[in-house]
Amino acid sequence: MKSYRKELWFEVPGRRGFVNITPQVESALRESGVREGLCLVNAMHITASVFINDDESGLHHDYDVWLEKLAPHEPVAGYRHNRTGEDNADAHMKRQVMGREVVVAITDGKLDFGPWEQIFYGEFDGGRRKRALIKIIGA
Protein backbone atom coordinates (compact mmCIF):
# COMPACT_ATOMS: atom_id res chain seq x y z
CA MET A 1 0.00 0.00 0.00
CA LYS A 2 1.23 3.48 -0.89
CA SER A 3 0.57 6.68 1.02
CA TYR A 4 1.11 10.19 -0.34
CA ARG A 5 0.62 13.60 1.30
CA LYS A 6 0.67 17.06 -0.23
CA GLU A 7 -0.41 20.51 0.96
CA LEU A 8 -1.96 23.18 -1.23
CA TRP A 9 -1.63 26.80 -0.10
CA PHE A 10 -4.09 29.59 -0.83
CA GLU A 11 -4.43 33.29 -0.22
CA VAL A 12 -7.84 34.34 -1.47
CA PRO A 13 -7.77 38.15 -1.65
CA GLY A 14 -11.43 38.75 -0.79
CA ARG A 15 -13.40 37.64 2.22
CA ARG A 16 -15.03 34.77 0.29
CA GLY A 17 -14.14 32.83 -2.82
CA PHE A 18 -14.19 29.45 -4.50
CA VAL A 19 -11.11 27.92 -6.15
CA ASN A 20 -11.26 24.89 -8.44
CA ILE A 21 -8.43 22.68 -7.16
CA THR A 22 -9.19 19.65 -9.34
CA PRO A 23 -6.06 20.11 -11.50
CA GLN A 24 -3.80 20.24 -8.41
CA VAL A 25 -5.45 17.13 -6.94
CA GLU A 26 -5.08 15.28 -10.26
CA SER A 27 -1.42 16.30 -10.36
CA ALA A 28 -0.90 14.98 -6.82
CA LEU A 29 -2.56 11.72 -7.84
CA ARG A 30 -0.10 11.32 -10.75
CA GLU A 31 2.81 12.10 -8.38
CA SER A 32 1.57 9.47 -5.91
CA GLY A 33 1.64 6.61 -8.40
CA VAL A 34 -1.55 5.20 -6.86
CA ARG A 35 -3.78 3.40 -9.40
CA GLU A 36 -6.52 2.09 -7.08
CA GLY A 37 -7.46 3.65 -3.75
CA LEU A 38 -8.88 6.74 -2.12
CA CYS A 39 -8.07 10.43 -2.21
CA LEU A 40 -8.99 12.63 0.76
CA VAL A 41 -8.90 16.41 0.38
CA ASN A 42 -9.64 18.53 3.43
CA ALA A 43 -9.41 22.13 4.53
CA MET A 44 -6.85 22.70 7.26
CA HIS A 45 -8.62 25.80 8.63
CA ILE A 46 -11.93 26.11 10.45
CA THR A 47 -13.14 28.95 8.24
CA ALA A 48 -12.58 27.18 4.92
CA SER A 49 -14.15 24.23 3.14
CA VAL A 50 -13.52 21.59 0.51
CA PHE A 51 -16.51 20.37 -1.49
CA ILE A 52 -17.47 18.78 -4.81
CA ASN A 53 -19.83 20.35 -7.31
CA ASP A 54 -20.12 21.82 -10.80
CA ASP A 55 -17.64 24.46 -12.01
CA GLU A 56 -20.30 26.94 -13.12
CA SER A 57 -20.03 30.64 -12.26
CA GLY A 58 -23.77 31.10 -11.75
CA LEU A 59 -23.79 28.28 -9.19
CA HIS A 60 -20.83 29.83 -7.36
CA HIS A 61 -22.64 33.17 -7.24
CA ASP A 62 -25.75 31.41 -5.91
CA TYR A 63 -23.68 29.69 -3.21
CA ASP A 64 -22.22 33.03 -2.16
CA VAL A 65 -25.65 34.70 -1.94
CA TRP A 66 -27.24 31.70 -0.19
CA LEU A 67 -24.45 31.35 2.38
CA GLU A 68 -24.56 35.08 3.13
CA LYS A 69 -28.32 34.78 3.77
CA LEU A 70 -27.77 31.78 6.07
CA ALA A 71 -24.91 33.35 8.03
CA PRO A 72 -24.48 37.04 7.19
CA HIS A 73 -21.14 38.63 7.98
CA GLU A 74 -22.78 41.85 9.19
CA PRO A 75 -23.58 42.80 11.84
CA VAL A 76 -20.50 41.24 13.40
CA ALA A 77 -21.83 42.13 16.86
CA GLY A 78 -24.67 39.67 16.24
CA TYR A 79 -22.40 36.71 16.98
CA ARG A 80 -21.20 35.79 20.44
CA HIS A 81 -17.98 34.34 18.97
CA ASN A 82 -17.05 37.79 17.69
CA ARG A 83 -16.95 39.14 21.26
CA THR A 84 -13.48 37.54 21.45
CA GLY A 85 -12.23 40.28 19.13
CA GLU A 86 -12.65 38.32 15.91
CA ASP A 87 -15.12 39.07 13.14
CA ASN A 88 -15.37 35.65 11.50
CA ALA A 89 -18.20 33.80 13.26
CA ASP A 90 -20.10 33.74 9.97
CA ALA A 91 -17.14 32.01 8.29
CA HIS A 92 -17.27 29.19 10.86
CA MET A 93 -20.99 28.73 10.13
CA LYS A 94 -20.46 28.74 6.36
CA ARG A 95 -17.74 26.12 6.67
CA GLN A 96 -20.05 23.92 8.73
CA VAL A 97 -22.65 24.01 5.95
CA MET A 98 -20.20 23.43 3.08
CA GLY A 99 -18.19 20.74 4.84
CA ARG A 100 -14.59 20.03 5.77
CA GLU A 101 -13.51 17.37 3.27
CA VAL A 102 -14.22 15.14 0.33
CA VAL A 103 -13.15 11.59 -0.45
CA VAL A 104 -12.93 10.46 -4.07
CA ALA A 105 -12.34 6.92 -5.26
CA ILE A 106 -9.32 6.32 -7.48
CA THR A 107 -9.90 3.89 -10.33
CA ASP A 108 -7.26 3.04 -12.92
CA GLY A 109 -5.14 6.01 -11.83
CA LYS A 110 -7.92 8.61 -12.16
CA LEU A 111 -10.31 10.37 -9.82
CA ASP A 112 -13.60 8.52 -10.17
CA PHE A 113 -15.95 11.48 -10.70
CA GLY A 114 -19.52 11.64 -11.85
CA PRO A 115 -20.46 14.01 -14.68
CA TRP A 116 -19.43 17.64 -14.07
CA GLU A 117 -17.92 16.93 -10.64
CA GLN A 118 -14.94 19.06 -9.63
CA ILE A 119 -13.21 19.68 -6.28
CA PHE A 120 -13.30 23.18 -4.79
CA TYR A 121 -11.63 25.03 -1.97
CA GLY A 122 -14.13 27.41 -0.39
CA GLU A 123 -12.81 30.41 1.52
CA PHE A 124 -15.04 32.27 3.97
CA ASP A 125 -12.50 34.41 5.87
CA GLY A 126 -9.88 35.27 3.28
CA GLY A 127 -6.98 37.64 3.11
CA ARG A 128 -4.42 35.35 4.72
CA ARG A 129 -2.56 32.16 3.83
CA LYS A 130 -4.41 28.91 4.42
CA ARG A 131 -3.98 25.37 3.24
CA ALA A 132 -5.72 22.20 2.21
CA LEU A 133 -4.39 18.67 2.61
CA ILE A 134 -4.37 15.97 -0.06
CA LYS A 135 -3.92 12.44 1.31
CA ILE A 136 -3.84 9.56 -1.15
CA ILE A 137 -3.73 5.90 -0.15
CA GLY A 138 -3.88 2.79 -2.26
CA ALA A 139 -1.89 0.55 -4.53
**What's the predicted TM-score (pTM) here?**
0.96
Amino acid at position 97, single letter: V
112, 118, 124, 130 alpha-carbon torsion, rounded to 10°: 70
Dihedral class, residue 135 (left if φ above 0, else alpha if ψ from -120 to 50, else beta)? beta
What does the DSSP 8-state code read for residue 83?
A: G
pLDDT at 125: 97
pLDDT at 103: 98
Q: Are 21 and 117 in contact (CB under 8 A)?
A: no
Tens place of pLDDT per residue across the chain (139 aa): 999 999 999 999 999 999 999 999 999 999 999 999 999 999 999 999 999 999 999 999 999 999 999 999 999 999 999 999 999 999 999 999 999 999 999 999 999 999 999 999 999 999 999 999 999 999 9
What domains can you pick out in the chain, each with its CATH number?
2-138 (2.60.120.460)
pLDDT at 114: 96
